[in-house]
Amino acid sequence: MTRRGWILFLAMSVIWGCPYLLIRIAVREVSPATLIFLRTAPAALVLLPIALHRHALTEILARWRWLLAFTAAELAIPWLFIGRAEIHLTSSVTGLLIASVPLVGAVLYRVLGIDQFDRRRVLGLLVGFSGVAVLVGVDFRGADLGPMVEVLIPAVGYAIGPLIISRKLDDLPGIGVITVSLAMASVAYAPYALTHLPTSVSLEVVGAVIGLALVCTALAFVLFFDLIVEVGPARSTVITYVNPAVAVVLGVLVLGESLTWGIALGFPLILVGSWLATGTPPEATSPLASEPASP
């Protein structure tokens, strides 16, 4: 990988490890639905000139039905449930549960007949889901299961999103797809958000919202598409295995979250299991290699 590729890779690994921390801060004073609008509307406005300059919006709206499905699976629904869950769960735990997306995707694609299981993938699923079981069994009580289920909904959505891209939108420019999707999500949440704006917010929350919109969304997608061009779609998804580590470190260092036994034992099992269950040669492509989850 080139020097530029490594810089993009490291940047994306950090940037997409930050949203869980920022969401945890923001939902203290902003409702999850309002937060989605405050995140997507500015990001769409920032990306729109770039998409227009690259002529990336041509024929985009002709696929509006699939764009709507992608928006629901990848942005509108997952971000709502992640925000709701993080009112109760730590950012570290949320990041680790989202790390199970490759495992969910592997099962989903097998059920749909898109992919096959070999011994390596079966072993990966067993190891990965055992990591989730360890995390849940060690760190959670019955009262915590509701927020955990809310995190599993985004995991399913993040597995479906790349499938829609690879099967129905793969010939469209990525920057155009995400710009329109962000615009759709902002329009969908605008009626609620504009009538449920908080009366006052702290500077910490303002900074978290700005970071989510401009850095973790607008800048992140520009860099991600550059990363795909630089290293290819399969290699670019390796950031999926680094993001959770960043989320855990930031949660512990910035928010003072506990590094529990559940995290310490479950984290490596989830990552190793995801790698075994979804590993493909660098030159190979698959629906799961199209796009990692965008927290």
Residue closest to 185 by CA, chosen among 83, 34, 50: 34
Single out the residue of 133, 17, 90 nearest to residue 259, CA to CA: 90
Range of the domain at 44: 3-289
Number of domains the chain contains: 1
How far apart CA 222 and CA 213 sit, in angstroms, is 13
The set of residues, in sequence order, having a beta carbon less than 8 Å from that of 135 and lying 6+ positions away, is 93, 96, 97, 262, 263, 265, 266, 267, 270
Q: Check residue 18 and give its pLDDT.
A: 94
For residue 288, what pLDDT is reported? 39
CA distance 149 to 151: 5
* pLDDT recorded at residue 231: 72
Residue with tokens 């989830």: 270
Determine the Cα–Cα distance for residues 231 and 218; give it in Å rounded to an integer: 20
| pLDDT tops 90 at residue 278 | no
User: Residue 35: pLDDT above 90?
Assistant: yes
251 located within any domain: yes
Residue 187 lies in a domain: yes
Q: Taking the alpha carbons of 290, 212, 81, 183 in that order, is the dihedral positive or negative?
A: negative
Only one residue has tokens 């405050």, namely 38
Mean pLDDT, to the nearest integer, of 208-235? 85
Q: Which two tokens stand for residue 201?
A: 């917010």
Domain-located, residue 295: no
Query: How many Å apart are CA 27 and CA 39, to the nearest integer?
Result: 12
Report yes or no on 58 lying in a domain.
yes
User: Is residue 92 in a domain?
Assistant: yes
**Is residue 294 a part of any domain in this protein?**
no
Q: What are the two backbone dihedrals, phi and then psi, of residue 114, each rounded to the nearest 5 degrees?
A: -85, -30
Cα pseudo-dihedral 159, 163, 169, 171, rounded to 10: 120
Domain membership of residue 134 (yes or no) is yes
In the block, which residue shows the tokens 């997507």?
Answer: 40
**Burial of 226 per CB tally in 10 Å (0-12, 13-18, 19+):** middle
**Highest mean pLDDT (candidates 157-161, 179-183, 256-260):** 179-183
Average pLDDT across the chain, whole number? 84
Residue at 207 is within a domain: yes
